[in-house]
Amino acid sequence: MRRLTAPVFVLLLTAPPALAQDGFFATADAVQLRNAGASREVVIVDPDADLDVEGDLRAVEAEAVTAPRVSLGYRWRSRWNTPAEITFSGWRSDASGTLAVDAGAGLLWDVLTPPSLALAGYDGSATATLDDDATVIDLSYAQTVLADERAIVRFRAGLRHIAYETRLSADYVSGISEASVRTSSALDTYGVRVAAEGALPLGAGFRLAGEISYGLLWGDVEATYTAASSAGFPGVDVRRGRDRNIDALEGAARLEWQSRTGLGLRAGVEWARWSSAIDQITFTDDIQPGAVVVQAQDAVWYGVSLGVGYRW
């Protein structure tokens, strides 16, 4: 299942047309990103009915979504006689995915529910839904240090906010027996971001452009885990919150075209990695019901973008 999102709040900044005069500029991009870290194993599909644990491990994944991204800024000629600019940018992603599995002639093995509640080697079905939401807001200052017919080089620094939440719901059904799991991980951070941007003119208004950036953010992440079973065992409802430092490494490469009237077009690829952005709670022991492991996971984004910019 794929949903288009409402406007936006930014992951990677794109440069407006490099005109000399002072003035405002705006950019809008259609960005299709997939979160490679947004997946969760749900069930083992065993083709045989011999009670040996074997078969394919199935996961629910968040699909790629196309989301708008906007930037608004002001550019002027600085005292170093090169362009400077202040930019506010934003991007928001709202992705989801579903999984539905039937045992058929084989068996299913529940891998999410605590061992004391799990349906093991059962004939039935498993369904899951994953929601993956991210919001990024940037306020930055950029200074061009080189701008001629050979190359353009710009450095950027500013403030960043990242809010990221992933939620998973899984249900296992075998006749009148049922088990369910609900998990979530919510990240809320603020920090700084620095970037280096460059472009090589190709002629006729075209140029190759790229950027690489690093952000260091501070905040907290809270993970939750609830589980229940129709078998009558006690349910599970636990949570863990802790402070977290996030490293955000990002990059982009684009082909851009700009006119002398202020209109600019671009297309490119983008990539981002947010370290330890997700906490995952897993119950590990059927003898000691309270035995858990909390694993920190990265969020890794990649995809393509198409955009338009204008300066007046």
Answer for the pair 163, 187: CB distance below 8 angstroms, yes or no. Answer: yes
Let me know if residue 17 belongs to a domain.
no
Let me know if residue 8 belongs to a domain.
no
Show the domain range for 212.
Answer: 23-311
Let me know if residue 2 belongs to a domain.
no
pTM more than 0.75? yes
Let me know if residue 182 belongs to a domain.
yes
Which CATH number is 254's domain given? 2.40.128.100
Q: What's the mean pLDDT in 231-242?
A: 81
Answer for the pair 13, 71: CB distance below 8 angstroms, yes or no. Answer: yes
Distance (Å, whole) CA 263 – CA 266:
11
Let me know if residue 16 belongs to a domain.
no
Number of structural domains, the chain? 1
Let me know if residue 284 belongs to a domain.
yes
The residue type at 33 = L
Let me know if residue 176 belongs to a domain.
yes
Q: What is the pLDDT of residues 160-210, one digit of tens each?
A: 999 999 999 999 998 888 889 999 999 999 999 999 999 999 989 899 999
Let me know if residue 205 belongs to a domain.
yes
Q: What is the pLDDT of residues 117-173, one digit of tens each?
A: 777 788 889 999 998 888 999 999 988 888 787 888 999 999 999 999 999 999 999
CB-side exposure of 236: number of CA atoms within 13 Å?
27
Residue 271, beta-bridge partner list: 251, 302
